[in-house]
Amino acid sequence: MANGLFVHQVYFWLADPESAEARAKLIAGLQKLSKVDGIRMCHIGQPAETDRPVIDRSYAVSWLTLFDTQAAQDAYQEDPIHLQFVEECASLWSKVIVYDSIDV
């Protein structure tokens, strides 16, 4: 892995977990968010059909992004596309957990 790689992982729990419309709107918002400059790679996911005691499958949608540096991730946080995503989609989720990590 590249020295300085910054990994940003976000897990979303929907306010209405049964709403296919809310889920689709969140995924569409993340697809727009993927256009932010500085993202090296991104992935939109959902819980896999795995079942072990250490696995948390309670979230609805996951968002993984890789950046070359923390500075690139900091710029992403302030990017108008990111700010618009939060404004348009925050009402869709009841809980968000973020895990940021850097190279060892």
Average pLDDT, the chain: 96
Residue 104 banded pLDDT, cuts 50, 70, 90: confident
The arrangement of strands across the sheet holding 61-67 comes to 39-45, 61-67, 6-14, 93-102
Residue 1 banded pLDDT, cuts 50, 70, 90: very low
Q: Which residues, other chains included, contact 57 with Cβ-Cβ below 8 Å and sequence gap of 6+?
A: 47, 48, 50, 51
- Write out pLDDT tens, residues 17-49: 999 999 999 999 999 999 999 999 999 999 999
| Percent of the chain clearing pLDDT 70 (strictly above) | 97
The ranges assigned to domains in the chain are 6-48+56-102
Give the predicted TM-score (pTM) of the model.
0.93
Number of residues assigned to the chain: 104
- Residue showing tokens 């976000």: 10
Give the domain 6-48+56-102 fold. Alpha-Beta Plaits (3.30.70)
DSSP 96: E
Q: What does the pLDDT read at residue 3?
A: 67
Residues 53-81, mean pLDDT to the nearest whole number: 97
